[in-house]
Structure 1
Amino acid sequence: MRFFFSCLFLVSFYTVFSQEEAKPEILPNIKMDSLYREDQFYFSVTYNMFSQIPSGLKQNKFSAGLSTGFLRDMPINKSRTVAIAAGLGLSYQNYFENLTISKDANGATVYGVSNYGDFDSNRYRQYSVDLPIEFRWRNSTFESYRFWRIYGGVKVSYVFLNKSTFDDGENTFLIKNNPDVNKLQYGAYIAAGYNTWNVYFYYGLNPLFKDVQTVTGEKLDIKTMNIGLIFYIL
């Protein structure tokens, strides 16, 4: 009987000890994301300039441009460091210069290049819907949002509103949706930088105006350029 109780005590002690023994923790199997994309919102601030300008044309003040939109990223290599992206955006471009746009006595649009002392104010603005398509390189990984990038591509813009304001001191000429302005504008651009901050340069490939001339008979083949900063936000 004494032997029976001794065996029962040992079995109970072993059972309690076995229950208190710590079990190994089973960690979840985390799978690395091999399908990440750099879909991004963008926002740019630029200084606007003209190229292929007529003689005597100069800019004054700060001609600013703003744009914003979204880009869809489509990687084309296994490491996802090379991609193509397409997007949709909006732009506002503002120019202060001495290319004056006015109306003659018959209502015809007249283009001229005036000295700054000959008028009070002059500016041109346009608003557009943008379709950017770009080729992308970056050294990103799915774990890090801080990386170097070089993005280059083309942008097609539809100008849905343009305005020019010219005040010669006696008369003010406000012209909206000038039919001489190319509604469809396109150009090439490049953006490069690290993380959120990137330098940006755009060059228009077609003229701002259609087949028009200044009062001196010089053809207006003005093209636009924008240089500034572009910010990419995930």
Structure 2
Amino acid sequence: MRFLFSCLFLVSFFNVFSQEETKPKIAPIVKIDSLYREDQFYFSITYNLLTQVPQGLKQNKFSAGLSAGFLRDMPINKKRTIAIATGLGLSYQNYYQNLTILQTPSGGLAYEVSDYNDITSNRYRQYLVDLPIEFRWRNSTYESYKFWRIYGGFKLSYVFSNKSVLDNGEETYKVTNNPDINKFQYGVYLAAGYNTWNVYINYGLNTLFKKNLQTVSGQNIDVRTLNAGLIFYIL
């Protein structure tokens, strides 16, 4: 009997010992990639400059520009850090300068670089529909919305309205929808930064006015636009 009880005790001991064995834990699978896209609304504020200007043309005051729109993101690599984006937007551009525009008795327009002492204010403003197409690089993931980015692209714009306003202190002269303005304007741009804050620069590749346009004094008007400031991206 003692031998039988000893055997039963040993068997129960081995059973308890075997139950204490732990199974190896299976590590959860970490999801590396996702089908996320950086579809974004954007908003920019810029300081507007005119380049390649006729002799004597200067700017004063703060020439501001605003733009807003939406961009559709299309990643082209597995990590989704490289993409192409296209979208649609609206822009407002304002330029304070001394290139005055007056209507002639024959119905045409005359351009002249005026002395600032002879005018109180002179500005040109335009409203555009924008079609941006850009190449994108960022070190983002689908879990993080704070990342570095470099976006560069090409923007085609259509001027659907423009207006020049000259105030010489005695009279105000207005020219609306100037036919000498290039309706289609295009340029290249670059945006770079971290998270929401990004520096932005856009350079016009074609002239603001149509070719072969001259001032009364015979200077060519081949001015181009340069817009520099900040752009914000909102998911």
TM-score range with shorter-chain normalisation? 0.7 to 0.9
Q: Does 1:64 align with 2:54?
A: no
- Secondary structure of 2:215's counterpart equals coil
Whole-angstrom distance in 2 between the partners of 1:144 and 1:131: 28
Aligned to 2:225: 224
Deviation by residue 1:86-121 (Cα, 9 ceiling, x = unmatched): 000000000000011111232220101011110121
State the AA in 2 paired with 1:224. Answer: T
Whole-angstrom distance in 2 between the partners of 1:30 and 1:55: 64
The percent identity for this pair of structures is: 71
- 1:194-213 equivalences under 5 Å are 194-211=194-211, 212-213=213-214
Conservation of the 8 A alpha-carbon contact between 2:33 and 2:78 = no
Q: Does 1:40 align with 2:43?
A: no
Query: Which deviates further from its counterpart, 136-145 or 111-120?
Result: 111-120
Coordinate RMSD, CA, aligned:
1.5
Unaligned runs of 5+ in 1: 1-27
- 1:170-185 equivalences under 5 Å are 170-185=170-185
TM-score by length of 1: 0.86
Unaligned runs of 5+ in 2: 1-27
Aligned to 1:112: 112
Deviation by residue 1:204-228 (Cα, 9 ceiling, x = unmatched): 0000000211011111100000000
- 1:133-212 equivalences under 5 Å are 133-211=133-211, 212=213
TM-score by length of 2: 0.85
State the AA in 2 paired with 1:126. Answer: Q
Q: CA deviation at 1:31?
A: 6.0
Q: CA deviation at 1:29?
A: 8.8
Whole-angstrom distance in 2 between the partners of 1:34 and 1:170: 65
Shift >3 Å, 4+ stretches: 28-33
Whole-angstrom distance in 1 between the partners of 2:169 and 2:218: 25
Whole-angstrom distance in 2 between the partners of 1:205 and 1:30: 47
Whole-angstrom distance in 2 between the partners of 1:31 and 1:149: 23
- Secondary structure of 2:59's counterpart equals coil
Whole-angstrom distance in 2 between the partners of 1:33 and 1:80: 8
Aligned to 1:128: 128
